[in-house]
Amino acid sequence: MIKKFSVLILFFVGVIALRSIAQNPVIQTRFTADPAPLVYKDTVYLYTTHDENTAGPGMGKFLMKEWLLYTSTDMVNWTDHGVVASLKDFVWGRQDNGAWAHQCIERNGKFYLYCAVQGSGIGVLVADSPYGPFKDPIGKSLVDTDHKWNDIDPSVFIDDNGQAYLYWGNPSLWYVKLNEDMISHAGEVTKIPNVGKEKGQATEDTYHYQEGPWAYKRNGHYYMAYASTCCPEGIGYAMSNSATGPWEYKGYMMKPNAKSSGNHPGIIDYKGKSYVFGFNYRLNFMLTEQHHERRSVCAEEFKYNPDGTIPELPWWSENGVEQIGNLNPFKRTAAETINWAEGMTTAKDIKTGQFFVCNKNTGAYIKIRGVDFGKGAKKIEACVAAITAGSLEIRIDDKAGTLLGTLNVKSPKWETISSSIKTVKGKHDLYLVFKGGRFNLDWWKMKAN
């Protein structure tokens, strides 16, 4: 009884601590893993896998059927775009489970999404926009090998001379050159020797390549980051003077942590800063003491050393990364643009195509970080639809912070409603708190008068 009581107290203390400072994990409305960030124009497109919340307890019990997309221009408020691809897009692959790690890259205005369909092989989908719709142009797996179960975790990199490479694999790392069309390959499938392991450079098992390669080039150096030997997995990396190696293993970017069996790097430069994405099990362990394959994507900023090597980072922090710039509330903002949410879900209206947020219980909220109200906002407008009537409280700085105003949501049909609010100036975190009933919010916008 005493033990249960202490666990309960720890849980609530944890929730309060998490709420006040947290930015990691970056998505709280779904379980997400295997982050594959793409910087295109001024936006970060964060493609993730999706751990179903019905995944049963136990290590390795993945239940994964689709790939999701989130975008951000400030690294802290992420807009949910829902499912961008699913197993149904690969008719040649298994359909029940196995939508594993992926990467999307752009070439000549087309977007190529390489996906592992675990047990069936690696597929490729193509779209004219980073949001999709993605279609399978070849109707079969991209690489044909006799080790299909090992053919997971594709990473694609295009060198300065235009030659593209596909890397993948667990527990070995392979590569093949891609043709310019990006949907066929040329030459031999080549195994990259696990140098850290084979030459005895590694001092601990967790140092070696295991899976989740992330290949890129920066300032003339070629990088191969990866999830290090299971379990738990850290993030290791190797460097080279060429896309085909030889690779020199450089050690950990992040040491493994007993709290998380896996990890999976996705690395970008964005607006002059460098970021690594990966995942932890924090949200799963907020719900239960049991391990489920219900992971959550995290991000950290880091700085390269002058010689191009990467400093070792601590495990995923709770604070996460700093905001780049501010959010402008006078522009219409999709309600699914979220810094932190509790008790909320996102969904799509099949009839209208609208993507929206919905509360699961009273008191649920979304936080939008770093909103710049400038010289003053005096009114809010929002597009809402009620499941049961309720009210949307507009608060700042905390979910129980200053109440600026309230929108009453009554109509079951989508409608735009508005209310004047207490004048608010300068930069604040905005909290939209759902009270009373259950209802949907599509977008919101502030007005200066």
CA angle centred on 343, ends 431 and 348, rounded to 5°: 90
| Beta carbon nearer to ligand FUB, 18 or 117 | 117
Footprint (CB under 6 A) of ligand FUB, residues 142-181:
152-153
The residue with tokens 């999701």 is 68
Q: How far is the CB of 78 from ligand FUB (least distance, A)?
A: 19
The answer for residues whose C-beta is within 8 angstroms of residue 399's C-beta and 6 or more apart is 19, 363, 365, 367, 431, 433
CB of 148 to ligand FUB, least distance (A): 14
Minimum gap (Å) between residue 69 Cβ and ligand FUB: 16
Q: How far is the CB of 207 from ligand FUB (least distance, A)?
A: 17
Q: Contacts with ligand FUB in 400-419 (CB under 6 A)? A: none
Mask 30-69, x = binds ligand FUB (CB under 6 A)? Answer: ---xx--------------x------------x-------
Nearest-approach distance from CB 25 to ligand FUB, in angstroms: 14
Task: Closer to ligand FUB by CB, 101 or 142: give it.
Answer: 101
Instruction: Determine contact, residues 389/369, Cβ cutoff 8 Å.
Output: no
Question: What is the β-pairing status of strands 340-342 and 337-338?
Answer: unpaired
Q: Which two tokens stand for residue 283?
A: 């949200």
- Which of 262, 266, 329, 390: binder of ligand FUB (CB under 6 A)? 262
Distance CA(316)–CA(307), nearest Å, equals 24
Beta carbon nearer to ligand FUB, 267 or 377 = 267
Q: Work out whether the CA dihedral 241, 313, 206, 210 comes out positive or negative.
A: negative
Query: CB neighbours (10 Å) of residue 272?
Result: 6
Measured from the CB atom, the residue of 62 and 134 that comes closer to ligand FUB is 62
**Minimum Å distance from CB 71 to ligand FUB?**
21
Closer by beta carbon to ligand FUB, 150 or else 317: 150
Q: At its nearest, how many Å lie between ligand FUB and the CB of residue 100?
A: 3
Instruction: Write down the least CB distance from residue 93 to ligand FUB, Å.
Output: 14
Using the minimum distance from each CB to ligand FUB, give the nearer residue, 76 or 227. 227
| Cβ neighbours around 52 below 10 Å, total | 18
- Closest CB 94 distance from ligand FUB, rounded Å: 14
Q: Which of 367, 371, 376, 409 is nearest to 391 (CA)?
A: 409
Query: CB atoms < 10 A from the CB of 191, how many?
Result: 11
Residues 215-244 that bind ligand FUB (CB under 6 A): 227
Decide whether 172 or 391 has the Cβ nearer to ligand FUB. Answer: 172
User: Which is closer to ligand FUB, CB of 98 or CB of 329?
Assistant: 98
Token output for 271: 């607006």
- CA dihedral over 152, 136, 81, 130, signed as positive or negative: positive
Distance in angstroms (rounded) separating the CA atoms of residues 446 and 307: 47
Q: Is 116 in the site for ligand FUB (CB under 6 A)?
A: yes
Q: Which residues on adjacent β-strands are paired with residue 112?
A: 105, 126
Q: How many residues would you count in the chain?
A: 449
Nearer to ligand FUB, 25 or 262 (CB): 262
Query: Sign of torsion, CA 254 260 263 266?
Result: negative
Count of positions on this chain that bind ligand FUB (CB under 6 A):
14
SS3 277: strand
Site pattern 85..104 for ligand FUB (x: CB under 6 A) = ---------------xx---
- State which residue, 75 or 101, has the beta carbon closest to ligand FUB: 101
Burial bucket for residue 307 (CB in 10 Å: 0-12, 13-18, 19+): exposed
Which one of residues 30, 50, 255, 264 is an interface residue with ligand FUB (CB under 6 A)? 264
Spatial distance between the Cα atoms of 68 and 72, rounded to a whole number of angstroms = 14
Which residues, listed in sequence order, are joined to residue 32 by a DSSP beta bridge? 50
Within residues 345-404, the interface with ligand FUB by CB under 6 A covers none
- How far the first Cα of the chain sits from its last, in Å, is 56
Residues engaged in binding ligand FUB (CB under 6 A): 33-34, 49, 62, 100-101, 116, 152-153, 211-212, 227, 262, 264
